[in-house]
Amino acid sequence: MKRFIAGFSVLFLWAGATWATGSEDKLALLEAAVEGDTTAQYTLAETYAEEAGIHDLFDQDIELLKKAVHWYEKAAEKGHTPSQKALASIYLFPLDDAPPEWSTKWLPLAKKLVDKGDRKAQYDLARYYSFPHNCDTRFRQCLNRAIGLYGGLLKDLPPGQATVFRAFEISPRKITRQEIETEIARLKAMDPEAQEKQSAMDSLLYSTRKSGSLQALVGLGDRWAAPDSAEASISMAKKAYEYAAEKNHPEAQMKYAGILYQHAKGIGDYQNAYLWAMAATMNGYPSAPELLAKITQKLPEEDLPAMEAEAKRAINTLGE
């Protein structure tokens, strides 16, 4: 019975391997992979990955890629380094329709590869720890990890060698010693507490936007716009108001116009404030006409007719 099940498994997988139809050699490869041959598993995964279009950023076949990942994982479980590297690349930037667990598998795999001396994984892990939202502890500790990983790349570099990664090892362009030294200096100069605060606000804004509640976004903008708030941030208040304003929320339009007007640094800010005050006025917000009149005084009179026509045209597209 066990032999029958193994045979059935091969035939089932064979049916999914459209590229293998009529090929005894590839059927033998599939049989070897099912029997646990690591090299066969890796080779089979590579074939599926190519069929999936893994090198095509815009047209990958997720079902074939899942088959590739299945066989990469089988080989990687036995410590097969090339399979682990292939998985790391897939997990790091998963497709939108990829299984959600793929993204969670990258970090432990990257750490394993770093322990094996993989320089690409070391670079990717350093970048990962450079962002507060990736940190599971105090950000200062993550910064130190990132600095240490970057420093390790330079430490292993031969004296006088300027290139750390050649073109297409990490990105289309080469990565130099100077770039990594500059990044280390930037990380050392960071204020971890400020970065953690910013990351928390970014996460809150994202979750509030995802909730779909425009009134909640306006409340968030109010919270950040309050000058006596411990979380005061004009830039974040603008983002919260702007998103709701673009969805045609009159109160958000009014408050976004107001904050742009109050903190204007040039004619462009007054023009933007004019647009949103006009939108709030057209939507019947009570105090909007008064604000619109104030903003108008900051703009060249001869430009107003064209600006009004352009503003009305733009406003008619809001919420689309």
**Distance between CA 189 and CA 283 in Å, rounded?**
47
Boundary (domain end) residue, out of 39, 67, 94:
94
Alpha helices in the chain (DSSP H): 2-16, 24-34, 38-52, 62-76, 81-92, 101-115, 119-129, 139-155, 177-189, 192-211, 214-225, 234-246, 250-262, 267-282, 288-296, 304-315
Per residue in 151-177, pLDDT (tens digit) is 999 998 888 899 999 999 988 999 999
The pLDDT score that the predictor gives to residue 20 is 44
Q: Region 128-149: what's the mean pLDDT?
A: 89
* String of DSSP letters for 246-295: HTT-HHHHHHHHHHHHHT--SHHHHHHHHHHHHHHHHTT-TTHHHHHHHH
> Does residue 55 sit within a domain?
yes
Q: Region 101-122: what's the mean pLDDT?
A: 96
The pLDDT score that the predictor gives to residue 320 is 56
> Does residue 118 sit within a domain?
no
Split at pLDDT 50, 70, 90, the class of 2 is very low
Split at pLDDT 50, 70, 90, the class of 31 is very high
The answer, yes or no, to whether residue 12 has pLDDT greater than 80, is no
Split at pLDDT 50, 70, 90, the class of 21 is very low
> Does residue 127 sit within a domain?
no
Task: Choose from 8-22, 227-241, 244-258 the range with maximum mean pLDDT.
Answer: 244-258
> Does residue 246 sit within a domain?
yes
Instruction: For CA atoms 285, 286, 290, 293, give the dihedral sign.
Output: positive
SS3 state of residue 175: strand
The answer, yes or no, to whether residue 272 has pLDDT greater than 60, is yes
> Does residue 124 sit within a domain?
no
Q: Region 15-39: what's the mean pLDDT?
A: 73
Query: Residue 257 corresponds to which amino acid?
Result: A
> What percentage of the chain reaches a pLDDT higher than 90?
67
Per the structure, the count of domains in the chain is 2
The pLDDT score that the predictor gives to residue 130 is 92
The pLDDT score that the predictor gives to residue 146 is 96
58 versus 249: the higher-pLDDT residue is 249
Q: Residue 236's domain is classified under what CATH number?
A: 1.25.40.10
> Does residue 279 sit within a domain?
yes
Q: Region 104-132: what's the mean pLDDT?
A: 96
Per residue in 193-231, pLDDT (tens digit) is 888 888 889 989 999 999 999 999 999 999 999 988 777
Domain interval for residue 18: 1-94
16 versus 250: the higher-pLDDT residue is 250
The pLDDT score that the predictor gives to residue 55 is 65
Question: 146: exposed, middle or buried (C-beta count within 10 Å: 0-12, 13-18, 19+)?
Answer: buried
> Does residue 121 sit within a domain?
no
> Does residue 223 sit within a domain?
yes
Boundary (domain end) residue, out of 79, 94, 109:
94
Q: Are 275 and 245 in contact (CB under 8 A)?
A: no
**Distance between CA 95 and CA 138 in Å, rounded?**
30
